[in-house]
Structure 1
């Protein structure tokens, strides 16, 4: 009886899957047979008039509905203003062709106001003309206005709280992850539409086989700005002391070729190196490999303050980017970048180390100068068809970085750290379709030479590292019905001057794609070994992802995974070494093995009509390690010693975003929030010292443009967090608040901009610090010319203090700020 029941269920399942078909069609003009763009296409049940699903036609007049269970009562209805409505029945296995006839119409006393945001399946379009302000200089200024889109201070772009994976202009990716070079320099009025591409699959071979949750951004330019050079030249000078700035950018962006050439330099505290920052995604791990191992790091000049307030710099950057579209599917991209960056900072700190028996306090003051000369040359070829995908990415990098610090503690210390890096990298990937099978081959070869050196007074030490890293794999993919299977086998090797290592891995992957559900299950197996040591680990790392799309507005997902990972080869270095005049690392040759369990729930809601976007993440991570650290403080020296003992830690967090646009009032409101807890252990005097940190952070932002003459912006960051160390030490929660208020008013041809920043930082239970900064700017535009005058730090604030907690320590730091400054700039647009 049981086999009969199972057979019956299998027959019903097979019938159900076969009854699910994909509906495709074409909409053209009946008179000239040209494709009709943006026509509304509805899938309906005959006679009901209620849509089951809907979409819009693309620029080629095509539309597609994903696989859905259909019957004889299904029809497709196509309509567009100015054309007659047309209805056709769904015929399984046949593409529908709609030929719309013109239908004249007249409007009387009717106001038509199309939405600023409209969607088409997985594409959301923002009509830039409805958001742009005459005061907007670059694309970055526009993106900050768009509901659902966020841009942080470094220029990273996210949509609904998720970082974008690619940045396109007219469907072409010129910047290769360094999209700040375009978003910061492309003039705002050149863009017609900003598109958000959800579930973006850039490889056409996989477009109907593997679904993703990646987000991409595409800029569509106004016709008059395509195929022409956009050139800006700017120079500035000022005082307190002598200030200078220069900017020359030239870009030509079309659908067949694209070029961007940039020079920027200044000593005003403006960190233009952010434009060359590479925004790395999870997929880039396969392309670039894991992060480079390092022994030494340069001193940090960061603080919870706007970078331009504290950055004393002399910087020059050069960039050249060129993309050639060889044919409809192939392209060649060349990217070259150079940075010369000289930074200096005066600062001091008091550090409290909390131990089981007592608390130790160390104080220092320093004057540090860091010089960085970095260059990169990259060339990429890509051929992306529906049957073949082939790409090769090659790059050369050189990084000459060194720092000199004069430090005062109980004695005078001179510290010099050198961390140069010279590397070559090549990544080759190919996919070929053979019948129902898709074959994929990947090859990554990477070599780096990192001759690090540290000098402290008369002490000197070298920690050179030479690494050749390879990773080769072969995959077979097959899709049958709603099930996609992929099987990957590969080998990776790490050949270096410390300890060679290698890994063998096999990854079976399964993905079920149903109309509303997408279920993915991976079961990677990896064997890692370091010959000459006792380290040889097999590991299974299962991962499960379930995505449910209720409708266009609501989407939910759940994820669970287990991953075993290892430290890098620097952990196998057996000799103690210094990382600064004060800190020493003792790895004891212990390679940490981390076993991490992670669970996550996610939900999102979007309504383009109401300009409302909402997300919610719930995360939990439990990590088990075979290593624990002991911190020892002896005189002025702090040692971090790695010991072979079990160490568990966990983290949970709740975070999300909310964004709402109010069309009639010209308002965009956004909120991001984070609540969480970390818990771990550290050894102190041979005893386990547990520590826990609890934190919450809220970032509300509001932008209001009541008229074309006035714009008001407000944003704040509210952070509240404390720590418990052992059973005796309770570090009081600190409240840190940053508020930024800005107003721009246009008076004739002059834009007047005033910004006020307020920083509140708790130093201790009974002491806090407040800092106020004011900035005023005047901009006069006439034709192609712009004249600007800026005055910064009007209150001439000269020092800033703050306190932070970290594991079992607390830091109270102070640093020197840039003084009151004045700068005049002239810009000309060719």
Structure 2
């Protein structure tokens, strides 16, 4: 493939070489499949198995019922068996004879219930209705530890580096453990910690409805996963103690305890390390709570930041210099009266450093502006969070009350050199966020359902950015030198959403009618202070402080209509809202109010083309109003290089979104495919205008219409290859977007295009060797759509190839050796190509008597301590250079309790 650079090519040749000898002296058996009356039987599964019941070869019969199977040369014919399976026919199991090469078989018809299909060949999948079940043991390998290791190997499943899970291209909405949602949407800790040996089956719940009172009463397109725990694993408390130490001055430790029975479930984990593992990722939420509850609000983004460079496209362990400790407690109890109580408590203490330098070029119609930045950052973040849930999920009613409290902060400091300006920065953050969600959904005697809902939230994130000595005195202090700068900003917010709904569950068209109110109160306060050389602190003279008060109140009614008949499903939601927004700031004589009547319809049409496949069409129109971040008038130094303010009214944006998606699956043959196309067009009445100089950029929101449009195409296929015992997948996406930028008085229309291709493959060879490959190829192009300026702003394209390859070998019983390689190649016209090859190794030995693993991890064997990368966004080309962790060796003991 075009992905393979020299390193990747060597690994590919290694994979292909063992096959050369296998092609010699292969043997073939042929045959035909017919019914008793002579009709051919096409698409039957024909497998050859060895005495260990492993698949040696696999084929399906063609349209005429014929099959031909090539056997490996080393396969002993006297011990092999021929198995034939087909829905609606009795299975056939025949011994293969050395002197016989043709098998003409008559199949006996045996009708079965298609609502329950069981594939008995290993690995096993069975399906019943909308639930697909993977047998975990069929996909697990001896070297696997957690359920996450096995998930990555299952056809149809995708697990990102962050831990987010997709099934056939769709994000999952929940991860249940024996039907209980112990971890909410922070399930990454579960997939990394739960041993796969505890799990009997993985269930994929398609068209999942989390509320039992709405089951078969409301349509749903959600997908959820459920881990079915083995009976013996439910009976006792299990866990692990991990202790590791290494060079240079490394430690890695973990203690976890697990109990999953019907009454009580717990997953408690304590960790500490300085080997580069980001423990904050265990607390990552995948954005599902708002989707399920509709509790999202217009929470403003953080105002201030300390730098302009992002993170490198590498696993965080490569560049994360840390000293971290975390506690993650998840406990759930089911009471006899049907009430479920749950507590999720977490905490994190962290200290980390990051060193980088970067430059960026900003291309204008007749000019180029260049920025450079060298920064050494030290951060000390902390995080605490508590979530307390009381829930009763019964067929007659649903009740839930969820209280959440999060308090976190970060004190960061850095030494920075930018365009020959030498300075020190400090950024202090505090975040306090609490909310309560109350929901009650009872079913009435006539079968209809009522829903009462109330969500209330308070949020605030005060920030202070300190810069010494002062910089950009020409812009900030009339050319007079400065001793320092202090920028403060916060946006305390109160938000409430209350609604009542009535659902009609009978009739050809099911209906739901809802009414409610949304209330929001915010205050944006900021202060920019300059410390003069004589020690006096003075306000920024060219702008007053922000003291903006904001209110948003909305009354809404909506109707939802659902239709399901045969293969057709249709859903339409017609919401109507009266919105009033008022905001004022006395310092700027600002006193505005807006009232709008909003109509934001959405609809979805779905057709089942077969029992497993469907085609869906979605359309959504949204008429959105801006938030408080778009109307403040006072200047805010958002980072050392940018000043932002606004000179426009409230932003209004109209968006049309239409998407077409096709879902294809064949559970029996373990083939999963998906494809989709999405088109989005939005029009706003404001545009961000920037005046950029060599040292600072001033951005103002202006009242100028701005159109943005984008198209996205994506497709994916995942297949289990029985003949090889391998899982293979290929996904691709292509997107294009067109938008405008207003820079230094010029309107510059840009067209960005991106193509991404992701092949993946995993195979087991000779029962002792496993080989896996994952690749990503990305082509990103930015083009200025303006003929008179395009000569100065040429098209830019970045090509990046990222390939990972792994080889596992078990030379002795209970001994596992794994070597991983990762090759990255980046190419940008007129700049030097960048290429890296990272290598890691791991060896593990299991002491079965002591239930202990001894493990040696060798990281970054090539000792690569610096990393370069390019980035491309509209008319900005960036280069960044990062410091990486060097070679490490950690010896770890894992005690299984």
TM-score grouping bracket, smaller chain normalisation: 0.7 to 0.9
Partner of 1:528: 579
SS at match of 1:665: coil
Cα shift at 1:209: 1.4
Partner of 1:417: 427
1:492 aligns with 2:551: no
Cα shift at 1:596: 0.6
Selected match of 2:807 from 743, 748, 762? 743
Q: How has the CA–CA distance of structure 1 residues 297 and 506 changed in structure 2, closer, same or farther, with 3 Å as cutoff? A: farther
1:147 aligns with 2:155: yes
Q: How has the CA–CA distance of structure 1 residues 416 and 481 changed in structure 2, closer, same or farther, with 3 Å as cutoff? A: same
1:732 aligns with 2:786: no
Partner of 1:551: 610
1:468 aligns with 2:494: yes
Partner of 2:7: none
Cα shift at 1:272: 2.6
> Normalising by structure 2, what TM-score?
0.79
Contact 1:356 1:685 in 2 (8 A): no
Contact 2:630 2:701 in 1 (8 A): no
Selected match of 2:823 from 758, 769, 780? 758
Instruction: Within 5 Å, give how 1:659-698 maps onto structure 2.
Output: 659-698=718-757
Cα shift at 1:313: 1.1
SS at match of 1:639: strand
Contact 1:654 1:675 in 2 (8 A): yes
Contact 1:133 1:708 in 2 (8 A): no
Cα shift at 1:128: 1.3
Deviations 1:131-166 (A, max 9, x none): 110100100001001000110001101100111000
Instruction: Within 5 Å, give how 1:252-263 maps onto structure 2.
Output: 252-263=259-270
Selected match of 1:432 from 435, 442, 449? 442
Instruction: Within 5 Å, give how 1:322-341 maps onto structure 2.
Output: 322-327=331-336, 329-341=338-350
Q: How has the CA–CA distance of structure 1 residues 387 and 604 changed in structure 2, closer, same or farther, with 3 Å as cutoff? A: same
Deviations 1:697-730 (A, max 9, x none): 0111111112432111101110001111243122
Q: After the TM superposition, which parts of structure 1 deviate over 6 Å for at least 4 consecutive aligned residues?
A: 77-81, 85-89
SS at match of 2:222: coil
Cα shift at 1:86: 12
SS at match of 2:149: helix
Contact 1:115 1:609 in 2 (8 A): no
Cα shift at 1:560: 1.2
Contact 1:238 1:824 in 2 (8 A): yes
Partner of 2:457: 446
1:391 aligns with 2:400: yes
Instruction: Within 5 Å, give how 1:533-682 maps onto structure 2.
Output: 533-588=592-647, 590-682=649-741
Structure 1: where are the runs of 5+ without partners?
A: 1-49, 51-76, 90-110
SS at match of 2:491: strand
Cα shift at 1:298: 6.0
SS at match of 1:176: coil
Selected match of 1:190 from 177, 191, 198? 198
User: Residues of 2 paired with 1:402 and 1:671: CA distance?
Assistant: 43
Cα shift at 1:681: 0.3
Deviations 1:601-641 (A, max 9, x none): 00011001111000001110001011111222123111222
Partner of 2:389: 380
Cα shift at 1:183: 0.8
Selected match of 2:145 from 134, 137, 153? 137
User: Residues of 2 paired with 1:159 and 1:369: CA distance?
Assistant: 39
User: Residues of 1 paired with 2:569 and 2:392: CA distance?
Assistant: 28
Contact 1:329 1:385 in 2 (8 A): yes
Deviations 1:339-393 (A, max 9, x none): 1122211111111111122111111111112221110111111111122111110
User: Residues of 1 paired with 2:306 and 2:623: CA distance?
Assistant: 30
1:828 aligns with 2:895: yes
Instruction: Within 5 Å, give how 1:49-198 maps onto structure 2.
Output: 113=121, 116-198=124-206
Q: How has the CA–CA distance of structure 1 residues 661 and 328 changed in structure 2, closer, same or farther, with 3 Å as cutoff? A: farther
> Normalising by structure 1, what TM-score?
0.85
Partner of 2:563: 512
Q: How has the CA–CA distance of structure 1 residues 114 and 740 changed in structure 2, closer, same or farther, with 3 Å as cutoff? A: closer
Aligned residues: 734
User: Residues of 2 paired with 1:341 and 1:288: CA distance?
Assistant: 30
Cα shift at 1:231: 1.1
Cα shift at 1:114: 6.2
Deviations 1:455-497 (A, max 9, x none): 1221112112211100001111102323111111111111122
Selected match of 1:318 from 310, 317, 327? 327
Partner of 1:771: 836
User: Residues of 1 paired with 2:319 and 2:730: CA distance?
Assistant: 27
Partner of 2:102: none
1:228 aligns with 2:230: no
